[in-house]
Structure 1
Amino acid sequence: MEAFIKDMAYYLPEKVVTNEAIVADFPEWSVDKIAAKVGVNKRHVAVEKETAMDLAIQAAESLFAKGIIAKTEIDYILYCTQSSDYKLPTSACIIQSSLGLNRTIGALDFNLGCSGYVYGLSLAKGLIAGGIAENVLLLTSETYSKYMHPKDKGNRTIFGDAATATVISTDGFAEIGKFSLGTDGTGAENLMVRTGGARYPQLADDLRFDENNNPVSSDYLYMNGSEIFTFTLDNVPPLIIDTLQQNNLQKEDIDLFVYHQANKYMLDFLRKKSKIDKDKFYYALSEFGNTVSSSIPIAIIEAMKDGSIHSGMNVLIAGFGVGYSWGGTILKYL
């Protein structure tokens, strides 16, 4: 049985952090420099008592308000986050109750970052193909801002908070193709929050500043930018080739490429390395930042709004990052 995207929506926290606000904290930077290198003009950030689950519920409510599908029709929830409200219980169970969905549905969380949306589509398609569900609500939500040190200008510049909701069903406007997926856990430490889990439950209180005056601490988000960049360049071009092969397509058959919106510099480099024309490569960074697992669905929604995606198109989506983890598939718009 085939699986389709039936509807989509996203939600952004009300608090906005502009480049001007970041420059006020880091006067050695300029607004133009941030915009040119990172490609972000502003990002939305959750306030202190606003959680990833709160954002996910808002995104879902926005989707249901459109009236394309009713809450009573949902028979499975998949919730992708690395910003869980609790160690237990499963956030998806609480979301079921908060949304007032049926009690006769499945619900689970899965922990993935920038590849999470693609992996979520693969899980949803599997549930539908196996006859387990007919309408899967896939939610992505992250609040990486809560993991960042206030003096971490690099990560504060790149990341934004957001949530998305997608219904995958037995019918819809875009057919989900075959998948190419990959994993390499040897790179786990290059993008990590080390403390707070079962292995290192107590805060390490080991804050130091590197040669560029960037904070390094086990208690906050750490990203080894050079290693992440190398990983991306090594793995994303082969991912694109394999995704095309899995779907019996050539690069020329793709009308639009929608990558995880990491940062403009990385996206430009990847586009050039894979020899993708500018008019076939979509950017949705400037008003959102890198929203982790939500970046691809936000980009898809924006591309549908502005006409970059329309009926009859083949769209290749590719997610990659923390884990390391990567994945790609084709969306065939009907």
Structure 2
Amino acid sequence: MALSKTRGSKIVGIVSIVPKNTEDNLQLDLLSETDREAILLHTGIRFRRKANYKQNVKELYKKGIERLLEQLNWDTSSIDVLICVTQTPQIAIPSIACQLHGDMAFPLNTLSYDINSGCSGFVYGLHTVNTLISSLEKKNARAILCCGDISSQLIDAEDRSVKPIFSDAVSVIGIEMMDDKTAISGYFNLQTEGSGQKAIFTEKMEDQNQYMRLNGIDVFNYSLKLVPNNILELLKFAEKDVEFPDLYVFHQANKVINDAISRKLKLNIEKVPSSLYEFGNTASASIPLTLGSIWNKTITNSGWILLSGFGVGFSLASALIPFEPKFCSVPEEI
């Protein structure tokens, strides 16, 4: 698909949910004191959130949807599309979207399904939702997009390369059709480089558990080779220059990768927010969670922001969107 446009829709609200339980990389018994300092310097991650044994991604989504509906004064009966982007469902079938549909009494006509995607999943999900609701024969159609993972479910407690990076979180995004259905709601560049499928993957072990494996050098190389070009192609398609977006909100991979991409694009560092120190790598929730962390302190000029997700797959996706939500909440602990 690569380059495309969507029309008529807008993000009106974002809620992010994180588990209250916090782990500190500077207190991580798995590493020596020297290695702990090196991890913080390299990744930019000090704190990570970890769900307790009672929490799962569906329950976090449910809490986020409740908060979103309350903030927007929406009712479940008004929702036309419900999409969940995750790689950590508690059960394989039925989909989380269908479970939420039943648990929260969404109407029969609410289109509901899951997307199995990781680090690029928010941008892919946003494109999917924008396309779906713009095709509906309904004025002011509404959608809810849920993104995020309980990544701790996939982590080997003794894996020194994975454990200090990944964190549990979800984001729930409200999207609505505008009165002007011809207005551009986003420019998108969606790409896949399947030769990078082994950069991040899961492996089934003898105990029958699946654990995430990470080849850090491959992730860095694919990211630096592909992401800047993906963004530049997108800006050319939108007929905008690098200075145009108010913000560049990257997937929160790690500090070294995101700094390298920023340098390659020659970005003003003030335009590149980070939530890594406080929240770590929160998979497909990382872009909306980062927006919630900084939005109330952001001064806009163009009213447009650039989003870029990249990772598992190797999948990458960028979007240039107008962004003036009714609210964009700081992450809420539960």
Query: What range is the shorter-chain TM-score in?
Result: 0.7 to 0.9
Distance 1:333 1:243 in 2: 17
1:328 aligned partner: 318
RMSD: 2.1
Deviation at 1:70, TM superposition (A): 2.8
CA distance in 2 between partners of 1:189 and 1:333 (Å): 34
Compute the TM-score of the two structures, normalised by the length of structure 2.
0.88
SS in 1 for 2:260: helix
Residue of structure 2 aligned with 1:126, choices 127, 131, 140: 131
Match of 2:177 in 1: 170
- Map 1:283-294 → 2, pairs under 5 A: 283-294=274-285
- CA–CA distance in 2 between the matches of 1:303 and 1:20? 24
- Tell me which residue corresponds to 2:289: 298
**Contact 2:22/2:48 (<8 A) preserved:** yes
Question: Helix, strand or coil for the counterpart of 2:26?
Answer: helix
Cα 1:30–1:324, aligned 2, differ >3 Å: closer, same or farther?
closer
Number of aligned positions between the proteins: 313
Please say if 1:188 is aligned against 2:179.
Answer: no
Contact 1:193-1:222 at 8 Å conserved across structures: yes
2:84 equivalent in structure 1: 79
1:197-216 to 2 correspondence within 5 Å? 203-204=205-206
In structure 1, the gaps of 5 or more residues are 196-202, 207-217
Q: Paired residue for 1:221?
A: 212
Give the Cα–Cα distance (whole angstroms) in 2 for the partners of residues 182 and 51 of structure 1: 30
Task: Report the Cα offset of residue 107 of structure 1.
Answer: 0.3
> In the TM superposition, what is the alpha-carbon distance from 1:244 to its structure 2 partner?
0.7
1:51 aligns with 2:41: no
What stretches of structure 2 of length at least 5 have no aligned partner? 1-6, 325-334
Do the aligned partners of 1:159 and 1:291 also contact (CA within 8 Å) in 2?
A: yes
Identify which range, 84-93 or 287-296, moves more after superposition: 84-93
Alpha-carbon distance change, 67 to 136 in structure 1, aligned in 2, over 3 angstroms: closer
Q: Deviations over 1:208-253 (max 9, x none)?
A: xxxxxxxxxx941101111111100110011111111222211121
Shift of 1:278: 1.0
Q: How far apart are the structure 2 equivalents of 1:288 and 1:11?
A: 11
Match of residue 232, structure 1, among 210, 215, 223: 223
Distance change >3 Å, CA 309–CA 171, structure 1 → 2: farther
C-alpha distance in 2 between matches for 1:49 and 1:146: 12
- Kindly report which structure 2 residues correspond to 1:57-68, keeping only aligned pairs within 5 A, or say none: 57-68=62-73
Task: Please state if 1:318 is matched with 2:308.
Answer: yes
Residue aligned with 1:186, SS: helix
How far off is 1:281 after superposition? 1.4
Task: For residue 49 of structure 1, report the CA deviation from its aligned partner.
Answer: 3.0
What per-residue deviation string (whole Å, max 9, x for no partner) do you get for residues 238-297 of structure 1?
111111122221112122111101111111111111111112211111111000100000
After alignment, is 186-195 or 249-258 more displaced? 186-195
Distance (whole Å) between structure 2 residues aligned to residue 16 and residue 194 of structure 1: 26
Check conservation: 2:13, 2:174, Cα contact below 8 A: yes
Q: 2-side partners of 1:237 and 1:312: how far apart?
A: 21
Match of 2:237 among 246, 250, 254: 246
Calculate the TM-score normalised by the size of structure 1: 0.88
Map 1:100-119; keep pairs closer than 5 Å. Answer: 100-119=105-124
Identity of aligned residues (%): 28
Q: Deviations over 1:284-329 (max 9, x none)?
A: 1111100010000011112212x22547422100000001111111
SS, match of residue 26 in structure 1 = coil
